[in-house]
Amino acid sequence: MYSHVLLMPFITGYLIWVKRTTGLQDYRTTGPRDHGTTDDGLRTDNSELETRNSKLSLLFAAAGLAVLGCYWVLRWRGWQPVRNDFLAATMLSFLLLLVAGGFAFFGGRRIRAVAFPVAMLSFMVPFPSFVKSGIESFFQHTSAAAAALFFQLVPTPVLHDGLLFHLPGMVIQVAEECSGIRSSLVLFITSLLAGYLFLRAPWKRALLTVAVIPLAIARNGFRIFAIGMLCVHVDPNMINSPLHRRGGPVFFLLSLIPFFGLLLWLRRGEASETLKR
């Protein structure tokens, strides 16, 4: 579920390295307008910046300590968290304190220049149990509805009853493991990175990210449909085949085809706008 966590610091480091010639350079080469033309103006502007940075640093530090404090109060009152909840609280607190240190030591302008790379570190925080269950339930039911639409396209008789599909000779149920939350999360992270690196317009970045949700639902629905049809027309034991148990990466790669098609279309539109200018 969280194997991507190991990659996030490296992704953030790479994005900051890419940003070194843009945002960070802009910070180093700010002109007199930003810092004042006189000694008094320079001291005044720097004082305002230091005050703002201190406030932001204290704000993030307070938030981090508040998360950690709430966690320990709940533990003291008898709450026994599962591992995900423990890691969610401690990792979120750690990241908030890390950002607070960034504002204190590097300044607000540098942190704002790398706001997106720093924000990507939030994917190091595991979902709390109730959030993970809610996302799984959403994809579980929507994927079943998408699979029902696929089954309507074929002549095979199918009775759809919620999460159950009554097929000739067998009944299959869409379980939590079929929600596709893992691959959907990876696709969501991919969309954020692709939009940041290859698109300029904010609405296009948002469109690419939002499109991941129906794409993930369609992919999961097609996976349920494909396995069901194989069980009916090839072998009922396909329900226990590697395609079902470990076939997630195959369907994930298939979902990348329309994803990159949309990315290329959005990027081509930006290229055309640039040529017109």
Provide the mean pLDDT of the chain: 83
Look-up of token digits 């990175």:
193
| Residue 276 pLDDT greater than 60, yes or no | no
List, edge to edge, every strand of the sheet that includes 164-167. 159-161, 164-167, 170-173
Look-up of token digits 């194997």:
3
Give 38's pLDDT tier (boundaries 50, 70, 90).
very low
| Residue 47 pLDDT greater than 70, yes or no | no
At 17, give phi and psi (nearest 5°): -65, -40
Query: What mean pLDDT comes out for the span 51-74?
Result: 87
How far apart are alpha carbons 129 and 85 in whole angstroms? 6
How far apart are alpha carbons 161 and 173 in whole angstroms? 10
Give residue-wise pLDDT tens across range 196-248. 999 988 999 999 999 999 999 999 999 889 888 888 888 888 777 777 777 77
User: Which pLDDT score, from 0 to 100, does residue 28 have?
Assistant: 47
Helix, strand counts (H, E) of the chain? 13, 3
Q: What amino acid occupies position 273?
A: E
| Residue 183 pLDDT greater than 60, yes or no | yes
In sign, the C-alpha dihedral spanning 194, 221, 148, 177 is negative
Higher pLDDT, 21 or 274: 21
User: Which pLDDT score, from 0 to 100, does residue 81 have?
Assistant: 82
Q: Is 239 exposed, middle or buried (0-12, 13-18, 19+ CB in 10 A)?
A: middle
- Name the residue among 234, 213, 220 with its Cα closest to residue 174: 220
| Helical segments of 107-201, H only | 108-113, 115-120, 129-151, 181-198
What pTM does this model have?
A: 0.80
At 171, give phi and psi (nearest 5°): -125, 130
